[in-house]
């Protein structure tokens, strides 16, 4: 089989949720963000593992993701929709017991008119200028929105991955100014915000990337391993080129392995000539261009040719691969392709 194997360690995922849960005081609830198919790792298995670890509240980006998660989890856990209540979502929100985070006066009106009495939350903009009601809009609607009994008021930090950024304190102050005295449970922190410390935690935290082993959660357990099978090896003589546009030429006689996996699988073309694959503890450099389905690797120095090489594993984390590609771990994870054989590891710990 030439299909590459993506191993997802659900025990490590659960350990990361518990560690982030312990990072806040016992009265603070820890939710789990599983938008974008649980950051590319599979919302059904990831959602179930997190529910088993103790998560009672989940966040997704859009109602359809909420529907998929409800199917995986069954009734009980609260599923919050960050995009709020969009036109066309009403039946899904009602039938599947989803909780929209209302972002605008339009959404407030839609929700309170179409589904009066059904749960909702409110998202406020405290300076990121992306989603949520701004101060003036919130001031105008707050009396009757609070009267309707929101489950939660939330906002999102723009610069939480940089603890020294002045924006963190500014948004914190804005959040206090907009929500103090409302008596409604509040949430401001994602992974980065949790690490900023207790004053950012409020009543509920919303970690995403840290669950999946990504920065800025330095001490997270690694969740993902990606192994690419070697399809073929060949001797390349000094002076011969490898791959599209002949961007690499052997300086000496070399043994080149062609592995299965390429930019169609989320192994970005910007990794060309830069990434390292690993045979256990031994690094093997990528040579030439990353193609759609294939990557060429110099394995001249290996005494035995293995069946596969790892591109994500103990020696190269999602963030390290992202760094080489000039992006962030989030983008590497959510780009992981549909073609992999996905293997979920569970119950080992
Ligand atoms: C994506 C997202 C999160 C999770 O952020 P991480 O940085 O992955 O922990 C939390 N809240 C909101 C509003 C988000 O969009």
pLDDT at 293 (0 to 100): 98
pLDDT at 347 (0 to 100): 87
pLDDT at 183 (0 to 100): 97
CB distance 188 to ligand 1 below 6 Å: no
Class at the top of the CATH hierarchy for domain 10-212: alpha beta
CB distance 209 to ligand 1 below 6 Å: yes
User: Catalytic one among 35, 212, 330, 344?
Assistant: 35
- Closest-CA residue, ligand 1 atom 11, reads 190
The answer to whether 35 is a known catalytic residue is: yes
* Sequence ranges of the domains in the chain: 10-212, 224-345
Distance 207 CA to ligand 1 centre (A): 6
CB distance 47 to ligand 1 below 6 Å: no
Give the ligand 1 atom nearest the CA of 209. 8
From residue 144, alpha-carbon distances to 65, 138, 139, 235, 254 in Å are: 29, 10, 10, 74, 72
Q: What is the pLDDT along the chain (349 residues), one digit of tens a residue?
A: 899 999 999 999 999 999 999 999 999 999 999 999 999 999 999 999 999 999 999 999 999 999 999 999 999 999 999 999 999 999 999 999 999 999 999 999 999 999 999 999 999 999 999 999 999 999 999 999 999 999 999 999 999 999 999 999 999 999 999 999 999 999 999 999 999 999 999 999 999 999 999 999 999 999 999 999 999 999 999 999 999 999 999 999 999 999 999 999 999 999 999 999 999 999 999 999 999 999 999 999 999 999 999 999 999 999 999 999 999 999 999 999 999 999 999 987 6
Q: State pLDDT tens for residues 102-123.
A: 999 999 999 999 999 999 999 9
Give the ligand 1 atom nearest the CA of 61. 15
Query: Model pTM greater than 0.85?
Result: yes
Give the fold, CATH level 3, of 224-345. Lyase, Ornithine Decarboxylase; Chain A, domain 1 (2.40.37)
Give residue for tokens 């939330």: 154
DSSP 68-103: HHHHHH-SSSEEEETT---TT-HHHHHHTTEEEEE-
CB distance 57 to ligand 1 below 6 Å: no
Contacts of 28 (CB under 8 A, 6+ apart): 201, 202, 203, 204, 205
The answer to whether 39 is a known catalytic residue is: no
Give the ligand 1 atom nearest the CA of 330. 8
Q: Alpha-carbon distance 41 to 337, whole Å?
A: 10
Reading the block at residue 241, the tokens are 């080129």
Radius of gyration of the chain (CA): 23
């Amino acid at each position: 089989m030439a299909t590459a194997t993506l191993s997802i360690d659900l025990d490590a995922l659960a350990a990361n949720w518990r560690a982030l849960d312990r990072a806040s005081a016992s009265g603070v609830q820890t939710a789990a963000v599983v938008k974008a198919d649980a950051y590319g790792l599979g919302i059904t298995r990831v959602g179930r593992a997190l529910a088993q670890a103790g998560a009672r509240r989940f966040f997704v980006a859009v109602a359809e993701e909420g529907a998929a998660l409800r199917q995986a989890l069954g009734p009980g856990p609260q599923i919050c929709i960050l995009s709020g209540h969009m036109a066309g979502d009403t039946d899904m929100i009602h039938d599947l017991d989803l909780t929209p985070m209302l972002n605008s006066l339009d959404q407030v009106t839609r929700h309170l008119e179409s589904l009066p009495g059904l749960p909702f939350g409110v998202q406020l903009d405290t300076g990121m200028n992306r989603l949520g009601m701004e101060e003036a809009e919130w001031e105008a609607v707050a009396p009757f929105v609070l009267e309707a009994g929101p489950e939660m008021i939330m906002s999102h930090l723009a610069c939480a991955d940089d603890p020294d950024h002045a924006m963190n304190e500014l948004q914190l102050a804005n959040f206090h100014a907009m929500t103090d005295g409302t008596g409604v449970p509040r949430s401001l922190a994602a992974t980065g915000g949790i690490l900023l410390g207790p004053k950012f935690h409020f009543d509920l935290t919303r970690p995403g990337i840290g669950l999946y082993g990504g920065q800025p959660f330095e001490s997270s357990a690694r969740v993902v391993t990606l192994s690419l099978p070697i399809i073929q090896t060949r001797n390349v003589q000094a002076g011969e080129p490898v791959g599209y546009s002949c961007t690499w030429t052997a300086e000496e006689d070399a043994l080149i392995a062609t592995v299965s996996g390429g930019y169609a699988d989320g192994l970005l073309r910007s990794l060309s000539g830069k990434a390292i694959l690993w045979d256990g503890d031994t690094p093997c450099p990528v040579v030439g261009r990353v193609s759609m389905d294939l990557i060429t690797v110099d394995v001249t120095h290996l005494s035995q040719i293995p069946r596969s090489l790892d591109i994500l594993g103990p020696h190269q984390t999602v963030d390290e691969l992202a760094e080489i590609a000039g992006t962030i771990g989030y983008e590497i994870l959510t780009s992981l392709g549909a073609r992999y054989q996905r293997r979920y590891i569970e119950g080992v710990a």
